[in-house]
Amino acid sequence: MTKDVTTVSEEGFSATNEVREFETTIDATGEDAPDTLETLLSTYATCYVPALRVGGQQRGVEEMGRIEIHTTGELNDDDKLESIAFDVRVETAVDDDTATEVIERANELCKVHDALKTELHAETSLEGEAF
């Protein structure tokens, strides 16, 4: 199985990405659309949502309800990602030990997590009964 994406830039630093019948725009300058790193961070967090839900189910948390992930990407002096952190809030009550187990399992399941170099794996916290 393969995944195919076509990226086209007519001029400047913005590009349109065609993914199946969908189209997204990414602007490296961040002026006309999310920039490349913002897009990576949002993709990582979006991938983490189902990983948390499945990881929770596999660790005894049947339904997490609402999940909210605040993602922070720290940049180095060259404006490259140095670190990523997720502050995860979920609707359901989750004790600290279970939260640790869910995070560990989510890290194993998340495909974007797997694709990033190890030093960019998100440091993750999880707060239950947040809503």
Is the overall model pTM greater than 0.75, yes or no? yes
The CA distance from 42 to 25, in Å, is: 14
Contact 92, 63 (CB under 8 A): yes
Walk along the chain (131 residues) and give the pLDDT tens digit of each residue. Answer: 999 999 999 999 999 999 999 999 999 999 999 999 999 999 999 999 999 999 999 999 999 999 999 999 999 999 999 999 999 999 999 999 999 999 999 999 999 999 998 888 888 999 999 88
* Domains of the chain, earliest start first: 1-34 (no CATH), 36-127 (3.30.300.20)
